[in-house]
Each structure stands twice: as C-alpha cells, then as structure tokens.
Structure 1
Amino acid sequence: MDDILIVFDLDGTLIDTSHDLLDSLNFCLSTIDLEPVEYGQLSVLVGQGAKAMLTRAFDIRSKSVSDSELNDFFELFVSHYGKNMPGKSRAYDGLDEALERLQIDGVRFAICTNKHESLARLLMEKLGMSDQFVALTGGNSFSFRKPDGRHILETIKLANGKPDRTIMIGDSINDIAATKDAGIPSIGVPFGFSDVPIADLKPDGIISHYDELTYQLIIELLNK
C-alpha cells in the first residue's frame, strides 16, 4: 500500500468548533461590557489563531487595546475555552467513517492548524481522537504558520511523510494558499469558516461531505 498522508486543518474542517469559539470570544468581550459578536460574523474572525480573532472582534466593536491588554485577553480566552472543552464541538458528519475506511487502505493522518498547539491537542484528547493522528502542529509550533507552506512541510516531516504522497484538506484561504506554497494538492470543504466560497480559492478538489473522501479521489489528486 502507498504510504499516503492526509494533513487536515482543524477548526472548520475536522471539527465544528464554531459555537465554543464564539462563546469564549463573547465571554472576553463581556468582561469589558462590549456587545457580543454574532455567529454570522465568525467566518471573518477565525483562521489566524485566538489573538487575531480577539483583535478582529475588538475592531468590529471599535475598541482599541494595547499589546499588553491583548495578551491578557488571550490568556482569558485560553482559560475559558480550555475549561469548557469539548463543549459543543463535534467532528463533522461522516468523518469517523471516512478515517476508518482510509486507514484500511494504509492512509495516515496529521493535523496542521493555526490554533494554539496546546488547545488543539487538548481538544483532540477531550474528543477521544488523538490516537488517530500521527502528528499535530499549531500556530505557535514554529516561527511561521499557514498560509506559509513551511507549516505544512514541517508537519509532514514530523509525521515521517513524503510531500509527494501528501494531500491537505482545509476550509479557508490560509489552508489552500499554504498548499500552493508547499506544492501539496488540496481538497477544500465548504462547510467550514471561509468568508468566500471554497471554489473561489481553487483547491484541487472539493468534497461537500466526508462520504465523498475516498481513496480513489486521493490517488487521482496525487497523480494529477
């Protein structure tokens, strides 16, 4: 069997974390009496880690914060988010079955996320999914992160994979841009947090449900 590696993004790709991210974000805003952000605004907030999400939320509410204050809010967010894991976060429909199918064909899995590594690891542990992934890297694992392709390449290295036998699945511009930078084929999913249609980002393939993630599809994309 081919030693194929699939690298997944986490939030909006593997796991629907939307409600818990929003809850922790709005908890932080509530401490300084700012109005909560709405669910429909999440796509423009998520993707570059918690600090960027907080900064964008403050911008939406026309609130300026210093670097020191931002660090304090980040710690508050991490504390609230971690204490409430896994909360409402769940794997997307069909994911578990897809992983089982692909494992039979010898496919291995890794995670490359801009989420803080400790939070990503804790979430996967709380969901009982850690053992299914041979490597996990976060937005603070290196001095670079998606959309820098080196983030994916270093994840592949940690997984003892080969770039020419790796494909990445993601939901946002950071994921697709990083795959192009790394020279890795991509599959986009439309059910995540992107603020533009996934097709506009021009991934190599698109699946609307994990039932569509097949070994045949992966082979076709790797052999393009």
Structure 2
Amino acid sequence: MTRFPFDVVAFDLDGTLADTAPDLTAALNHALGRLGRAAVPAESVRHMVGHGARALLQKGLAATGEVDEALVEQGFPIFLEYYETNIAVGTKPFDGLEAALDTLASKGVKLAICTNKLESLGRRLVSALNWDDRFVAIVGGDTLPVRKPDPAPLFEAIARAGGGRAAFVGDSITDTDTARAAGLPCVAVTFGFSDRPPAQLGASVLIDHFDELIPALERLG
C-alpha cells in the first residue's frame, strides 16, 4: 500500500468544516438589534466571516450604518454571550466531511484545526458537533499573539498535531494566503464563505465536495 503523502492535515473551521453561517448570523443580528441596527441576511454574513468575531461585528455594523470602536466594544460581549449559548443550533458539517475525516484517520493522518475563531469558541463548537476525538490540535485566533494569514498559527497547529509533512484545507483568501506564507499546499473548498470567486483564491487545488478531498491530497503529495 502506498503511504499517504501527509502526516497532518489542518483545516479552517467556519465555512470549511461546517456551515456555521446560521448561528453566526443569529448572533450578529442579536447584537445588531441590541445596538439599534437592522438585521443583515445570512448570505451577506457568509462573505464577512474569516477574521474572527470582532471583525464580523465590525463588518455587520459597517453594513448597517456608522461604525466606531465604542460600538464594537459595546456589542462584542452581547455577540459572544449569545453565540456561546447558541453555537450549534443551525450549524451543520458539510456533506461528505465526516467520511473524509474517517478516511484520513484510517490512514494514520493527524487532524488539526487552525481558525481565526476564538480558541474557546472553536473548542465549544467542536464539542457540540461531537468532534473532540477527531482533532488532536485546535489553534484559534487568540491562541498566539498573531492570527491567520500569519503562518505562525498554522505552524503551531501542525506542531501540536505531531509535525511532519502537512497540508491545509480552507475556504477563503485568508486561508490560501496563510498556506502560501507557510509554504504548504492548500486545498480550497468552493462551497465556503469566500468573499471572492473560488478560482481567485490561488489554492493548490479546488474541491466541490468532500468526496474529492482524499484524491486531491493524494495528487498534491
């Protein structure tokens, strides 16, 4: 049997592993409503995700009026409290994901998460989705002093997963820029939260469904 070409596969979380837009939208609109702002549609939120919760709130405020740091500071704890309580009400794994993760694990591949979500929220979501035993490392946007697209969080996630040859799977320009800065191959999903057409992400390879992940990684190897 040919050895699988990667020891570690790291994944972004929102828009890559799971469609978190329903719950992020609900939390954002809850905070916006408390701040006297109009709601934003889920489809818009899909293009705002990727830089962490505070940035999401800033973008939501900018989409509904003026934004300043005082409003962000006022709304951020409102957003966090609601989201922590309702983190997996509408969130679902993408089709084919768990079968792909099973296949990777069966090949001895260690799985990690590198997200700009706060680490505590990432861990809470992973637990809510019953994924605690799947991922050996979770690095969030506040785990280190820097966040993606700085490559340091990705390197940290890979190191915590045991190191070795690694690839990164994401959905946004933040993810592909991170992989490029780290000098690692990147698979980008076309069904995530990108703010631009997937073909413009500059990924090593694009996949339209997680059924395509294993063959894509094998080709990259």
Q: TM-score, normalised by structure 1?
A: 0.93
Shift of 1:4: 1.4
Shift of 1:191: 0.6
Using the TM superposition, name which of 39-48 and 140-149 deviates more.
39-48
Task: Provide Cα deviations, 1:68-103, integer angstroms capped at 9, x if missing partner.
Answer: x42331111111011113111111000111111121
> Within 2, Cα distance between the matches of 1:35 and 1:167?
40
Shift of 1:19: 0.6
> Within 1, Cα distance between the matches of 2:87 and 2:154?
26
Instruction: Please list every run of 5 or more consecutive structure 1 residues that lacks an aligned counterpart in the other structure.
Output: none
Q: Is structure 2 residue 216 aligned with structure 1 residue 213?
A: no
What secondary structure sits across from 1:101 in the alignment? Answer: helix
Query: Partner of 2:145 in structure 1?
Result: 143
The alignment covers a number of residue pairs equal to 218
What secondary structure sits across from 2:196 in the alignment? Answer: coil
> Within 2, Cα distance between the matches of 1:107 and 1:44?
31
Shift of 1:66: 2.9
Q: 1:217 corresponds to which letter in structure 2?
A: A
Query: Partner of 2:114 in structure 1?
Result: 112
Using the TM superposition, name which of 147-156 and 180-189 deviates more.
147-156
Instruction: Please list every run of 5 or more consecutive structure 2 residues that lacks an aligned counterpart in the other structure.
Output: none
Whether the 8 Å contact between 2:21 and 2:46 is mirrored in structure 1 is no
> Within 1, Cα distance between the matches of 2:190 and 2:31?
29
> Within 2, Cα distance between the matches of 1:41 and 1:66?
22
Query: Partner of 1:38 in structure 2?
Result: 41
Which residue among 155, 161, 164 is the counterpart of 2:163?
161
Query: Partner of 1:152 in structure 2?
Result: 154
Whether the 8 Å contact between 2:191 and 2:208 is mirrored in structure 1 is yes
Whether the 8 Å contact between 2:35 and 2:75 is mirrored in structure 1 is no
> Within 1, Cα distance between the matches of 2:74 and 2:37?
16
Q: How does 1:20-99 map to 2 (within 5 A)?
A: 20-67=23-70, 69-99=71-101
Q: Which runs of 4+ in 1 moved over 3 A?
A: none
Q: What percent of counterpart residues are identical? A: 38
Using the TM superposition, name which of 110-119 and 43-52 deviates more.
43-52
